[in-house]
Structure 1
Amino acid sequence: MICPRYWIAPALAGCLLAPSVAQAEDEPIVVTGRGLEQTPATPAYDVVRIDRERITATASGRIEDLLSSVAGFQQFRRSDSRSSNPSAQGVTLRALGGNATSRALVLLDGVPMADPMFGYIPFSAIAPERLGAVRVTRGGGSGAFGSGAVAGTIELTSANAQELGLFSGEALVDDRGETTLSGTLAPELGQGFAVVSGRWDRGQGFWTTPRSQRVPASAKAKYDSWSTSVRAVAPLTDDIEIQARGLLFEDNRVLRFAGALTSASGQDASIRLVGRGDWGFEALAYVQARDFSNTVISSTNFTKTLDQRRTPSTGLGGKLELRPPVGEAHVLRLGADLRIGQAELQEEGYNTTGAVTVRRRAGGRNTDIGLFVEDDWTLGPVVLTAGVRADRWTIREGFLRETNAAGTTVQLNNVFADRQGWDTSFRGGAVWNAGGGLALRAAGYSGIRMPTVNELYRPFVVFPVTTRANAALRNEELRGFDLGIDFAPSPAVTLSVTAFTNKVENAIANVTIAANTRQRQNVGAVRAKGLEFGAALRLGTVSLDGSLALTDAEVQATSTQAALDGLRPAQTPKIAASATLAWRPRPGWTLSTTLRHVGAQFEDDLQVDSLRAATTLDAFVELPVTGPFSLILRAENLTDTEIVTRNQAGSIDLGIPRTLWAGVKVRVK
């Protein structure tokens, strides 16, 4: 059955279910559920790929744990999505630092996942069991990905029906009585397939406060989160398919003190057309509705000081890419993309008696329209690539308004001037396949990141430190270069090393301006240079995957920020390493361990408060029992290493202690 393009919405179910006459006469239509294929010059950049076998074998079952196996990946804090504030889940690479906003671009089936207000990634909504592949490109250069990739790009690709099986699910419990329950139904329907998936995580949590610092108001990091995803893929013609996806999620946590509640929720939808004919194309549109709330509890009198009760935000966008037929030696990409983010903060401040003293509203609207062109040229063993991108950005409708408790007296009413401009960026590279599995590569790139609505207009408190917003923030601008060697003498051995230098000018950081007071400011630059090593060995039933990043990063600043000059950016370690050893003696069996090390880093910009290095050991076991059932055993932080995730003048937060899981997995093909 061939569905006309103008029947896209009403005909999706029909395309899934109807039999195809053409299938009996010609080759069967192959529906992948993925975007266009990668171009020949993709290996010119520093790319790490993670397959489904590794994705589904993490000790915590959480996506940030998986991504941590790529050395250089980091969140703003070391906490995972059970015990951190969601707004601190910004992602960066290459020790470029940050202020809880993502400097890396994270895409799920081509859709940017960053929150439209804060720029954080809703990790608890991205279940690893729904994914088929992960590709991490370290080093910036937005190109055809979209704007914002100053530290790199993380592409998450959903699994298809064959990878998932007709039904799969897990039920696990840990030694604290916390539970994880997930299930996925993925039937093949006619020429296409559908996927319905749900996951629910809840638990009493662990103590993030050291025993010596606990008070009667201290509380465990309780969490309760769920997400559900619906996806459908169907052919429209022999070489065009339609992909639709919806995602709903909610995440509730308690942080440090009783009553310190934080919540994040979202409703996302996207639709994508992919054409794989002579004129390849990809057309994507998406909408995101997100919300966030946060209650701040004083660490001195343990009463509510701030209630960020709502932060509604909306993200709208899309992308169109064309690949015209220009000959076998070239792959030409032409396209445009759009990203609109609008958000508003609604919060109340309280005094020690519990009375409201101030009501605050803040928000704005950011827009980015990008145009790009990129060409790959294959010349025998050499592949060249070059591309340019132009972004038209606007920052509009910014405001900050404060009134008294009754709303009758305006205490502050700032309306900020609209701004707009054009920025251009480029990326280019070359890879020489020298033979014998040896490839030499080089790449140069630039990119931009707009400040988020949060950075521009929303002040916040991590008691006792107040961080002010800054409506005058400028765009971050990246320049970087890579040189690399990849060596794969056989399918069983892959080795790589990359030397890089990256510099982010106008880097946005939380800068100390007074005692217990910081402000988001553009510093002169953050420069990072270093080496990244990777290794993958496949020796029969045994595999080893390793990653090591050695990075020297420093802030370059003058004038009023001169005290920062030469210091390492906050929250950036010099060394990060990960190694996973796995044994799969037969199909369905997995025994693996992961050793991970993160070097010492500083909590703050002035390098006053330090976070010591941490080395952890995780384990994962899957053993078939009978029929479709398997036993799952997982262990996080087996050595019970004390992981310091926050140090505010000696006030400490800790990460996950030793945690043991057991449960059952079922998979029906």
Structure 2
Amino acid sequence: MSLASKATSRSYSMIITVAGLVALGALMPLSSIAWAADAGSPTPGGTEEAVRLDPVVVSAGRVEQRLRDVPANVTVITREEIRQSPARTVDDLLRQIPGFSLFRRSSSLVTHPTAQGVSLRGIGPSGVSRTLVLLDGVPLNDPFGGWVYWSKVPLESIERIEVARGGGSGVWGNYALGGVINIITRRPEARVAQAKLDVGTRDTVDADLLMSHVAGPWGVSLEGNYFDTDGYKIVKKSQRGDIDVQATSNHKTFNGRVEYTPSSASSLFLAGSFFREDRGNGTPLQENSTETGYMATGGRLRTADGSDWQLTLFSHLQTFDSTFASPAADRNSETPALNQFDVPSTDAGVNLQWSKRVLQSHLLTAGTDIRWIDGETNEFFTFNQTLQDFTRRRKAGGEQLLTGAYFQDIFTPAPGWQVTVAGRFDSWQSFDASRVERNKQTGAITRNNQFDDRDEFAFSPKVALLYQATDLLSLRSSFYKGFRAPTINELFRPFRVRNDITEGNADLDPERLIGGEVGMDYAIARNLFSRLTAFWNEVKDPVVNVTKGIGQGDVMEPCGFVPTGGVCRQRENLDRTRIRGIEAELEYRPHLNWTMLGSYLYSHTEILSAPNQPELEGKRIAQVPRHQFTLKLNYTNPALINVSVQGRWVGDQFEDDLNSLKLGDYFVVDLMVWRSIPLPKLSAGEVFLAVENLFDRTYEVAKTADGIITTGMPVLVHGGLRVRF
């Protein structure tokens, strides 16, 4: 039997096993519904109308507020919704929210890390994030490049995710142009041990073990996660050659947290994690790996005068390496093109925040934060066929210091009215930056750039108004400015996608945003809730990958040698872009067992002004679809079975700045089936079966200038068992 046949046989065996477990669970009497009760699922036979609970969120204003008191469009994904999703990573989970997108359409499981930057509302046409992603309030954006390692955070560890759309720079600062995504993890609980085993086709394994305990004022939690998949061939089937192999992915995560809470007025914590990832990127020569550690500590203190003080210190240590190759036209061979053998980065940061309610009508907040970043890229390039070795070596990088101070007043002048005024001062400094290239064989310097130190300042105000006209209707509006500093990666590191080359640019200026929105939240009936938001944003000096020319197998500035058919691009500031759109959401709960959710985003993007590249004016922003729509239907009945079906449609978009490479629209359906089952000596058990891309749709996620198309994930069947001890 061939290896492929064996792999197929193993995959089918796993599917049959999981399906059998689900069927067995459906036939077994339900002696315990502990899991469902813990998750807040309806009890069997319930006929009452569903009640929509109002969660407390912190992402919009850095202080706890009821969702209905937040003058912004905030979506909360609860722990129960996470458990009901077939997604295996945070980014796949968040795709149910229109407006959320990575630089590439594909899942982070098969996407190169440098293309995992996140955008909300279409703000951002490159791999860096224009949205701030937080893990328990600490920045998760990569310090070197701004992208996000989504696999760092196992889904089993998450309590909820808050997605606050709209400019959040007024209190959060750098990256928060399009909004804030705050991932909040589970706090330690008394005597809890939970395990999950999820297996599927393409030899996919996802295993997680989480344990926590609370004794007196002390709490501790530990989690280990292991994921491995053979992946799939990412190049379109009709274009594949001998070099096209599966894009594999393997990662391991360990998280730990210790809390000390001597009283309700004070607490301390220490948290840390270790993450290791190894990937194959679709051809034998192309792979990358990342190893990173994280540590955070801090505490909270409420003083006698009612002041609430919070202090957080954090640091990340990371190494990254990646290889790139140039494929032959027939894709039957490839040549090494770039070897980034060591890309180390380090950051350290601190945030001190004070908040206090004054005269019952003012909730005041003020704080300051600092983040220092050091990173560089060490790489070999220019491969010589005769020597069968690279001939040049490059080292480029530098340091950055981001310092900010912010204030906010949430003022309630009268019942039903709320005014929020916030402002933030940011300072960005870039220093000790250089780019040095040498002859690899002789060590002779061929290029030596010592870049000038730079500093920029920005003020980001925000004014928001919320009017609760009735218990069922709220009206909101806001105006804001935002700021994002270019990353070390954008300034100094080049990268490749097959034969397409993108150069860094040490002269990049920060991006600045001005925008506003108006919206309404309306409970049409007790079980029917709607939300509508219209927004407008303009970005000054947006960083875009600008096309410089098509390669003819010769040297082209600033990229150097560009293979025939390849593209030379460079990161540059355009003058101004505009993003306008509408977000609509509808939630209907006709019965305790049924929930229907629908959401839609219309985003009209345009390059308004590009004096250095006038041919771009009037073009759409690359990588941003104009339409996105999601429809989700849930049926929950612990006594019988639970089912969730989600359909997601994404409109067409352009791969490049010139709008010459179009990616078509697509529609995919995901399915999740689960049921609680009694297991001996366990407090709760559950079997589940999931199918992603149920109808096995083939859709485009990327396209190169020479016509090579990368496709999204084909159908994946996976499932398993989740237990609590």
**TM-score category of the 2 structures, normalised to the smaller one:** over 0.9
Query: How do 1:369-408 residues align onto structure 2 when only pairs under 5 Å count?
Result: 369-378=403-412, 379-406=414-441, 408=443
User: For structure 1, which runs of at least 5 residues remain unmatched after alignment?
Assistant: 1-31
1:122 aligns with 2:153: no
Give how far 1:592 is off: 0.4
Is the CA contact (8 Å cut-off) linking 1:36 and 1:274 kept in structure 2?
no
Quote the RMSD (CA, aligned, Å): 1.9
1:417 aligns with 2:452: yes
CA distance, structure 1, for counterparts of residue 58 and residue 219 of structure 2? 9
Q: Deviations over 1:124-150 (max 9, x none)?
A: 111121111111111113122232211
Identify the residue that residue 318 of structure 1 maps to in structure 2. Answer: 350
CA distance, structure 1, for counterparts of residue 351 and residue 442 of structure 2? 42
Identify the residue that residue 277 of structure 2 maps to in structure 1. Answer: 251
1:454 aligns with 2:511: no
Instruction: Choose from 621, 626, 642 the match for 1:574.
Output: 626
Is the CA contact (8 Å cut-off) linking 2:317 and 2:347 kept in structure 1?
yes
Question: Normalized against structure 2, the TM-score is what?
Answer: 0.85
Instruction: Choose from 659, 675, 694 the match for 1:638.
Output: 694
Identify the residue that residue 342 of structure 1 maps to in structure 2. Answer: 374
Identify the residue that residue 28 of structure 1 maps to in structure 2. Answer: none
Which SS does the other structure have where 1:69 is aligned? coil
Identify the residue that residue 571 of structure 2 maps to in structure 1. Answer: 520
Is the CA contact (8 Å cut-off) linking 1:436 and 1:489 kept in structure 2?
no
Cα 1:136–1:524 shift into 2, 3 Å: same
CA distance, structure 2, for counterparts of residue 459 and residue 191 of structure 1? 50
Q: Partner amino acid for 1:612?
A: G
Instruction: Choose from 298, 311, 329 the match for 1:283.
Output: 311
Q: Deviations over 1:578-601 (max 9, x none)?
A: 122111113895310111111101
Instruction: Choose from 200, 204, 226 the match for 2:252.
Output: 226
CA distance, structure 1, for counterparts of residue 168 and residue 677 of structure 2? 48
1:361 aligns with 2:399: no
1:292 aligns with 2:320: yes
Give how far 1:491 is off: 5.2
Cα 1:407–1:496 shift into 2, 3 Å: farther
Which SS does the other structure have where 1:186 is aligned? strand
Instruction: Choose from 115, 124, 145 the match for 1:88.
Output: 115
Q: Deviations over 1:484-541 (max 9, x none)?
A: 0101255533210000001111000000012111000001122100100112223311
Identify the residue that residue 303 of structure 1 maps to in structure 2. Answer: 335
Identify the residue that residue 45 of structure 1 maps to in structure 2. Answer: 72
Cα 1:112–1:247 shift into 2, 3 Å: same
CA distance, structure 2, for counterparts of residue 125 and residue 279 of structure 1? 34
Is the CA contact (8 Å cut-off) linking 1:96 and 1:526 kept in structure 2?
no
Identify the residue that residue 615 of structure 2 maps to in structure 1. Answer: 563
Moved more, 471-480 or 136-145: 136-145
Instruction: Choose from 118, 121, 125 the match for 1:98.
Output: 125
Instruction: Choose from 525, 548, 558 the match for 2:600.
Output: 548
1:613 aligns with 2:662: no
Is the CA contact (8 Å cut-off) linking 1:242 and 1:272 kept in structure 2?
yes
CA distance, structure 1, for counterparts of residue 384 and residue 640 of structure 2? 58
CA distance, structure 1, for counterparts of residue 515 and residue 73 of structure 2? 12
Moved more, 343-352 or 471-480: 343-352
Give how far 1:33 is off: 13
Give the percent of matched residue pairs that are identical in Structure 1 and Structure 2. Answer: 29
Which SS does the other structure have where 2:612 is aligned? helix
Is the CA contact (8 Å cut-off) linking 1:41 and 1:376 kept in structure 2?
no
Which SS does the other structure have where 1:303 is aligned? strand
Query: How do 1:431-442 residues align onto structure 2 when only pairs under 5 Å count?
Result: 431-442=466-477
Is the CA contact (8 Å cut-off) linking 2:638 and 2:675 kept in structure 1?
no
CA distance, structure 2, for counterparts of residue 493 and residue 274 of structure 1? 38
CA distance, structure 1, for counterparts of residue 170 and residue 68 of structure 2? 13
Cα 1:625–1:476 shift into 2, 3 Å: same
Give how far 1:39 is off: 7.3
Q: Deviations over 1:225-282 (max 9, x none)?
A: 1111101222143311112211110111111211211112210111131234511121
Is the CA contact (8 Å cut-off) linking 1:41 and 1:383 kept in structure 2?
no
Is the CA contact (8 Å cut-off) linking 1:389 and 1:425 kept in structure 2?
yes
Is the CA contact (8 Å cut-off) linking 2:114 and 2:145 kept in structure 1?
yes
Q: Partner amino acid for 2:313?
A: A
Which SS does the other structure have where 2:538 is aligned? strand
Instruction: Choose from 210, 214, 233 the match for 2:240.
Output: 214
Is the CA contact (8 Å cut-off) linking 1:274 and 1:281 kept in structure 2?
yes
Is the CA contact (8 Å cut-off) linking 2:198 and 2:720 kept in structure 1?
yes
Moved more, 145-154 or 380-389: 145-154
Is the CA contact (8 Å cut-off) linking 1:150 and 1:504 kept in structure 2?
no
Moved more, 502-511 or 239-248: 239-248
Is the CA contact (8 Å cut-off) linking 2:548 and 2:570 kept in structure 1?
yes
Identify the residue that residue 10 of structure 1 maps to in structure 2. Answer: none
Moved more, 208-217 or 506-515: 208-217
CA distance, structure 1, for counterparts of residue 113 and residue 203 of structure 2? 23
Q: Partner amino acid for 2:712?
A: G
Which SS does the other structure have where 1:83 is aligned? coil
CA distance, structure 2, for counterparts of residue 236 and residue 587 of structure 1? 42
Give how far 1:36 is off: 4.8
Q: Partner amino acid for 1:351?
A: N
Which SS does the other structure have where 2:327 is aligned? coil
Work out the number of aligned pairs and report it: 636
Identify the residue that residue 502 of structure 1 maps to in structure 2. Answer: 537
Is the CA contact (8 Å cut-off) linking 2:58 and 2:65 kept in structure 1?
no
User: For structure 2, which runs of at least 5 residues remain unmatched after alignment?
Assistant: 1-56, 551-566
Give how far 1:285 is off: 0.6
Instruction: Give 4+ residue runs of structure 1 displaced > 6 Å after superposition.
Output: 32-35
Q: Partner amino acid for 2:384?
A: N
Instruction: Choose from 682, 693, 710 the match for 1:653.
Output: 710
Identify the residue that residue 21 of structure 1 maps to in structure 2. Answer: none
Identify the residue that residue 721 of structure 2 maps to in structure 1. Answer: 664
Instruction: Choose from 523, 528, 536 the match for 1:488.
Output: 523
Identify the residue that residue 463 of structure 1 maps to in structure 2. Answer: 498
Identify the residue that residue 444 of structure 1 maps to in structure 2. Answer: 479
